[in-house]
Amino acid sequence: DTGVSQDPRHKITKRGQNVTFRCDPISEHNRLYWYRQTLGQGPEFLTYFQNEAQLEKSRLLSDRFSAERPKGSFSTLEIQRTEQGDSAMYLCASGLAGVYEQYFGPGTRLTVT
Amino acid sequence: KNQVEQSPQSLIILEGKNCTLQCNYTVSPFSNLRWYKQDTGRGPVSLTIMTFSENTKSNGRYTATLDADTKQSSLHITASQLSDSASYICVVYTGGGNKLTFGTGTQLKVEL
């Protein structure tokens, strides 16, 4: 399968714990995006990378959130000191600069208890 | 503020029937509009893409329309199947492909 993959697919954690998600984009894609989607809503933009560089971060990305793409391939999204409001689906997408299409992964469903 | 509004919020139809989903947008600058299908617990998958100059485009049983003057789009599903049950999200692309404005989706349920 050469699509976008995400790991884990589901994560249940207790409030206050740290969690890390991984996204593997389509191999030739230089752009990688993170979104958050709550139930019944469309995805909301969090941040995006072009190669290794994090070019934009949404105001939704509080200090507890950090994302990296160290080698310009896979990316990680870490949430520190999780809160119940962090419960959501975290979607990753990848694409090519200048091409108006993003391909989405299956998402990681986070539940904070 | 860029916005995409979809209607209806939810819809239940019988298998084999047709349905039409609506999308109104106020997004600038406009690049293209896509309809995505999102199955429960999965990521969105693109169904159709509409550029500024296109009025109608079909993909199997899915037909999308775009009226750039009124900033409206529709997605028509013909001969619905149980597997069509999903959320359908209207997404407008702008800003070099980085900026996506998402609608909240229409939740479609197809029943026997």
List residues in chain A touching B: CB distance below 8 A: 4, 6, 31, 33, 40-45, 48, 56, 89, 91, 93, 95, 97-107, 109
Contact A42 B105 (CB under 8 A): yes
pLDDT digits 0-9 by tens, B19-47: 999 999 998 888 889 999 999 888 999 99
The pLDDT value given to residue B99: 80
The pLDDT value given to residue B49: 84
The gap from C-alpha B61 to its chain's centroid, in whole angstroms, comes to: 13
Query: In chain B, whose CA is at the least distance from the CA of A88?
Result: B41
CB pairs under 8 A between A and B: 61
pLDDT digits 0-9 by tens, A34-83: 999 998 888 999 999 999 999 999 988 889 999 999 988 999 999 999 99
Phi, psi of A60, deg, nearest 5: -65, -20
Which one of B1, B3, B38, B89 would you mutate to disrupt binding with A, by most A Cβ within 10 Å of its Cβ?
B38
- DSSP for A85-107 reads GG-EEEEEEEE-TT-S--EE---
Q: What is the mean pLDDT of residues A23-38?
A: 95
Q: Which residues are registered as beta bridge partners of B72? A: B24, B67
Query: In chain A, whose CA is at the least distance from the CA of B3?
Result: A42
Query: In chain B, whose CA is at the least distance from the CA of A110?
Result: B41
Smallest Cβ–Cβ distance between A95 and the set B36, B49, B97 belongs to B97
Task: Using the predicted structure, report yes or no on whether residue B96 has a pLDDT greater than 70.
Answer: no
Q: What is the DSSP-derived secondary structure letter of residue A86?
A: G
Contact A101 B97 (CB under 8 A): yes
Which residue shows structure tokens 């993909």?
B59
Contact B34 A101 (CB under 8 A): yes
Q: What is the mean pLDDT of residues B61-71?
A: 93
Which one of B102, B106, B107 would you mutate to disrupt binding with A, by most A Cβ within 10 Å of its Cβ?
B102
CA distance B7 to A14: 37
